[in-house]
Amino acid sequence: MFSSAKLSRLAPFAFVLLWSSSFVAAKIGLRHLSPLLFVAVRLSSCAAVLVLLMLLSGRSWAPLGNRRWLHCALAGILMNAVGLMAPHVGLTLVAAAPIALVQSLTPLLTAALGAAVLGERLRPGQWLGMALGVAGVALVVGLAAAESTARLDGMALGGLGVLGLVSGTVYFGRFCRGVPLLPGTAVQFLAAAAVAILGALTLERSHADWTDAAILATAWNTLAVSLGGMVLYFVLLRRGTAARATANFYLVPGTTAIITWIVLGERLRPLAIFGFLVAAVGCWMVNRRAPEFVARRRVALDPGAP
């Protein structure tokens, strides 16, 4: 049996593994489905599962009163609709490496907005960790990005996805932390699915070839990534700062490279391995707590503690 403390420590690693696997599944799925339809099916399936869980468990929607449902809906639209729709379209225009490189801006932008909006403060060592994270990501994907013939519109779409995820993360931290996880997440996915469906109907000429690969890719990104990964992400946000939660994105490109090596047989270059290690160190520096902070928290929780 894992204690809650151990589960909290494992949550960032599980999130990174799930989120990294989504790149491989998305690349497979986008061979058979148009991007906005792919996202719409993924988010609609998540919403259906969560609503079913609400009904089966008999959970109340009451905690979403006083317009909390609206805050959750807006956070879900930004994080899940904008955060997924734009990069998926971008993945049809450019390689995954440039998109991943753009997404490495997520932690820095979140830290900056978190400081301005949420009053979160980072120590100098954490800012250094942020810089190391960016350097590690650049080492992992920089060479591939330099060799790519990526077009500006694809890169811009990747940047739009980053803005959606960052703004949704900060908005969630400001307005949604006190909402119970299940009803809050259900509303987030319902709103995001509605936006994705509208986008698929109006912004693209949707097409789908439901091969076994397409079904497996959609199922994986629905159940494992959107449900499992985003629930872990919300847990990280509820238990820590926005900057600490998004710092885990630094590990995604390197982990994706490892998964690609295992699944597709693509070898890792020494530079990529080194970049992954640098990003890992940066992530650790951002997520670790200063000893004096831990001591103050122990005293606050237990005044008699040493």
Domain ranges of the chain: 4-120+150-248
| pLDDT over threshold 90, residue 12 | no
Range among 68-82, 90-104, 234-248 with highest mean pLDDT value? 68-82
Q: Which of 134, 80, 66, 69 is nearest to 102 (CA)?
A: 134
Average pLDDT, the chain: 78
| pLDDT over threshold 90, residue 114 | no
Q: DSSP H helical segments within the chain, as ranges?
A: 4-29, 35-57, 68-76, 83-91, 96-103, 106-113, 124-147, 152-175, 181-202, 212-219, 230-239, 242-246, 252-264, 270-287, 291-301
Spatial distance between the Cα atoms of 250 and 245, rounded to a whole number of angstroms: 11
pLDDT band at 206 (very low <50, low <70, confident <90, very high): very high
